[in-house]
Every structure is written in C-alpha cells, then in structure tokens.
Structure 1
Amino acid sequence: MTLAYDDGGAGDVVVLLHSSAADSRMWDPQWEALTARFRVIRPDLRGYGRTPYASETPYSDPGDVADLLAALAVERAALVGASYGGRVALQLATAHPDLVSRLVLLNAGYGLEPTPDLTAFGEEEDRLLAAGEVEAAAELNTRTWLGPEADEETRARQTAMQRHAFEVQLAADPEPSQLEWEIDLTRVTMPALVVSGAHDLPYFQMTARHLAKELASARAVHLEWAGHLPSMERPEEITALILEHLT
C-alpha cells in the first residue's frame, strides 16, 4: 500500500509524523513555514486521514514510512514526530540510522510500562468505543491531549481527526495485523530535540525524561504551558523550536 501524503517545498527533507489522536492535518500550522525552508513530506498512516485501514499481510507503520521514502528516492531526512509519530520516528532511527539526520520528538511514545494515568485513559476510551460512543471517545481524547492553550477551533479540529480515525478503524473488516519494530536507543545517535509538556499525562513526562537521559545527543525542552500536542496548542512557538533544531 502507498500511504497518502503531501510533498512540498525544496531542499533537505523533513518528514512530519502525526499523533494517533490526529492525522497529517495536525501539521497544517507548520506547513507554510517549513516548506519555505525544506522539502517536507507528511504522510497519513494507515487508518488515519486519507489512508485506508487495510493490509493483506502484516504491516508496520515505520515500514510503511520507510517504503514511502524509498519510493520518493529520499536517502536522508529529519523526522518530526508527535506522540505515536515520535515512536515511529524512534523505530525508524533504530532500524535505519543512516536515513535519519535529526529528530524532533514532541511528547513521543517509547514503550515504558503504563502508569495508572495512562491505564485509566485507555480503559475509559475502550469502554466508550465498546459502547458505540465514538463521539464521546473522540472528545475524551481532546480533553486528555490538548492543553489549556488550545482554542475552540483547534479542539474541534482535533476531535474531528480523532473521530474520523475511530470510524475508519472500527469499520475495518478484517482488521489488519501489525508488526512491532524495536526501539534501541543506543542506535539513535543523531541530534534529538525532546519536548515535554507540564499539562501532559505524567506517563509522557516520564518518557521524555527517560529519552533525554538515554539518547546520546539529546536536548530536552520542558514547556510549562503545553499539553500533549503543543504543535497544535501554540503553533508558532513550536514551529520556531523545530526550525531552530533543524537549522
């Protein structure tokens, strides 16, 4: 399968990897500024945005991204990942360190043991979806992942992206099987910006501290105003952070 994607600008390549609570549209506020400086590629992972949730054989999200970059003849790229997109970026950097020039990890996933806050969120999301309350599950995600700086328009956009993902994934028959790629932080030696938010779940703040400590070349930035998706909450500030790290 070919992922749906946008490809704009010229120069060094930057790949934007979205959160599992959104899709590639979460990067709309960054698009103009980044494409003015770089060639920017932003895919929709399977089951998000414009990409169907289907596969005849087991697949992986980092494998899909690697295949897309190969098809576009991209030999080296900086990866900017939000939440689950950060986990995909770390998986790619582990498997293909020569492909990745730099990392920006915005409240990235990694795979530490779940803490009570994350477990409680997951259980409530599962309960709502099992009851067919898709809208309520989408709104739960918006309340959980967007910090106080997000305005009402941003909250509505994030809810719509999450609702669409739920609808596409719940309708899949059969549901495709995923392969898990490992993350080995000893192989992730390229410069990494590790961003965390004071209004995010404690689990992700703990993850950011772990990544900042274990990555060979990491710079940690803790944002007192931010929730889990700071690029949607204060877009201009996060765009500036990204540009600073990439240039």
Structure 2
Amino acid sequence: MQLYTRDIGGGTPLVLLHAFPLSSAMWLAQREGLAARFRVLTPDLRGFGGSSLGGDDPSIDVMADDVAALLDAKNIDRAIIGGLSMGGYVTLAFGRRHPDRLLGVILADTKATEDAQAARAARIRTAERIEAEGSVNVLLEELLPRLVGPTTMRSRALVYGRVRGLVQSTPPAAAAWAQRAMAARPDSVGALAGFRTPTLVLHGAEDALMTEDDARTMVDALPDAELITIPGSGHLTAVEQPQLFNDAVTEFGAALTRTVR
C-alpha cells in the first residue's frame, strides 16, 4: 500500500496525519507555514484523497503500518509523527507498533481511550448508512456541524465552507472503512507510558468532539508531554487557527533540536 503524499521543505521530517473525514488537503497552511523549518510530509490515509483503499480489514493498526511503509519508501529512519483526531489515533498506534521510529509526537484534538459502547455502535450505524446510501450525507448532517467551533462558524465562513467541501469529497467506501477501524481501535492509555520521546498535546478550546479531560488524560499518562490549548478553535485546530497551531509545532521542533544537541 503506497500512500499518496505531499512532501515539501527540508529539515527534520514531520509527518502530519489528517482528521476524519478529510484528507491531506487540510494541512495546506502547515505545508506553507512549516516547510522552512521541517520536511513536511502529509499523506492521504488509505482510501482518502489520492490513496487507494486496498483490501485489508478495517484497522487503525493497518493505517499506522502504512505510515511506517511511507517512511521506508522515503528513506526516513525517524520522524516527528503528528495527527489530528483520526490522525491522532493512527499516531498512537504508530507509537505502539514502531516506537523506535519516533523523534517526537504531536497529538491534536484526539484521545487515547477507546470508544464507549454507545459511541462504537454509533460508528457502526454510520458506516452501514454510508454503505447503504453510497454517500456521505450522514456526515454532512451529523458530523460537520461539530467539526468547527462557534468562533469559526460565526466569523470564518470561508474556513467552514472549505471544511464542508472536504467532507463532501470523501469517498463513501473510505468513510465507512475508517468508521469501522475507529470503532475497533483498542484503548491506548496504558501504552502511553512507553512513549519515550517528547509529546505535544494540542486541544481546541471550543472542541465539541474531544474534551479537555481527554487531552489531560494523555498528558498525565505520558512521560514527557506538554498541553497547549488553542483559543477560538473547535475540533480542527490546524484549519481553524493555523498560525497558533504552526507556532506551537515550530517551538516543539526547536525544543526537540535543542534536546538532541
């Protein structure tokens, strides 16, 4: 499985994994703003954007192994791996399965706990509806309104419109596959103690999908972590407040470099 990947810039490799149900297109401001400091790689996770879905059973672990294969293909031994929402789930799985390949970790608007039974059942119902209808209309109806915060809804109409367009362009088969993969993911809180690299945890102050408690649970379980709350942002911090997101990542990368030296 080869992931379609935008690869730009030079310096420390930084892999950014996108949220559900978007694609690597969500990282436009990061490619533009971080390429002077990092080699920024933004893959489309399997089935999204320019990447094929393949025939594997739905699994976040499979998606993490795709990222490891991407590093192999790019001749990158170690990288900062970061993900937002679903991308965070993949980052956590990558850390469990490929810890020796981490320079650092960024976990944005995500959580390490598994889904509660009701949430898992809701994901399966959504996947079934997507498959039955052959469309992602259910995501536009039920998920889109919660992807961005009230500040963005009120004052950043272009951002909301862009997010809506990205959701609309999601292939139904990929959306259903990913919902099933997220529903089946294991609890990763216990594994966080094994993360031996610095971790940056980012949380949108207006995030309606992931709570501050979710973020603090990860920070408390990690050996070396910092929590930064991004004001005026809902779930999609990298899209809603790109400058604040980029500033946090830049400082994190600079601190990593000082530590290595």
Question: Is TM-score (shorter-chain normalized) higher than 0.5?
Answer: yes
1:60-98 C-alpha deviation (Å, 9 max, x unpaired): 100100011011110010112101111111111222222
Which structure has the highest helix share of the two?
2
Whole-angstrom distance in 2 between the partners of 1:57 and 1:87: 17
Using the TM superposition, give the Cα deviation of residue 155 of structure 1 relative to its aligned residue in structure 2, in angstroms.
Answer: 1.6
The answer on 1:25 being equivalent to 2:33 is: no
Aligned CA distance change for structure 1 residues 114 and 57 (closer, same or farther; 3 Å) = closer
Using the TM superposition, give the Cα deviation of residue 33 of structure 1 relative to its aligned residue in structure 2, in angstroms.
Answer: 1.8
1:188-230 C-alpha deviation (Å, 9 max, x unpaired): 1211111122322365433211101100001112234221111
Which blocks of at least 5 consecutive residues in structure 2 are unaligned? 255-261
The answer on 1:15 being equivalent to 2:22 is: no
CA contact (8 A) 2:126 2:176 kept: no
The answer on 1:189 being equivalent to 2:196 is: yes
Determine which structure has greater relative contact order: mean sequence separation of CA pairs < 8 Å that are 6+ residues apart, divided by chain length.
1
Aligned residue number for residue 237 of structure 1:
244
What number of residue pairs does the alignment pair up?
243
CA contact (8 A) 1:21 1:141 kept: no
Is the deviation greater in 62-71 or in 189-198? Answer: 189-198
Whole-angstrom distance in 2 between the partners of 1:236 and 1:216: 27
Which blocks of at least 5 consecutive residues in structure 1 are unaligned? none
Q: What do you get for the CA RMSD once the two structures are aligned?
A: 3.1
The answer on 1:157 being equivalent to 2:162 is: yes
Using the TM superposition, give the Cα deviation of residue 171 of structure 1 relative to its aligned residue in structure 2, in angstroms.
Answer: 9.0
Aligned CA distance change for structure 1 residues 205 and 171 (closer, same or farther; 3 Å) = closer
Using the TM superposition, give the Cα deviation of residue 130 of structure 1 relative to its aligned residue in structure 2, in angstroms.
Answer: 6.6
1:173-199 C-alpha deviation (Å, 9 max, x unpaired): xx99x9968741121121111112232
**Which of residues 200, 212, 225 in structure 1 aligns to 2:219?**
212
Aligned residue number for residue 143 of structure 1:
145
> Secondary structure, in 3 states, of the residue corresponding to 1:52?
coil
Using the TM superposition, give the Cα deviation of residue 242 of structure 1 relative to its aligned residue in structure 2, in angstroms.
Answer: 1.0
- The percent identity for this pair of structures is 29
Aligned residue number for residue 86 of structure 1:
88
Aligned CA distance change for structure 1 residues 232 and 72 (closer, same or farther; 3 Å) = same
Whole-angstrom distance in 2 between the partners of 1:107 and 1:79: 15
Aligned CA distance change for structure 1 residues 3 and 119 (closer, same or farther; 3 Å) = closer
> Secondary structure, in 3 states, of the residue corresponding to 2:99?
coil
> Secondary structure, in 3 states, of the residue corresponding to 1:98?
helix
Aligned CA distance change for structure 1 residues 211 and 8 (closer, same or farther; 3 Å) = same
1:29-178, aligned counterparts within 5 Å? 29-55=29-55, 60-114=62-116, 122=123, 125=126, 129=130, 132=133, 134-150=136-152, 151-169=156-174
Calculate the TM-score normalised by the size of structure 2. 0.81
Whole-angstrom distance in 1 between the partners of 2:176 and 2:87: 23
Using the TM superposition, give the Cα deviation of residue 120 of structure 1 relative to its aligned residue in structure 2, in angstroms.
Answer: 9.6
Aligned CA distance change for structure 1 residues 170 and 13 (closer, same or farther; 3 Å) = closer
Aligned CA distance change for structure 1 residues 213 and 179 (closer, same or farther; 3 Å) = closer
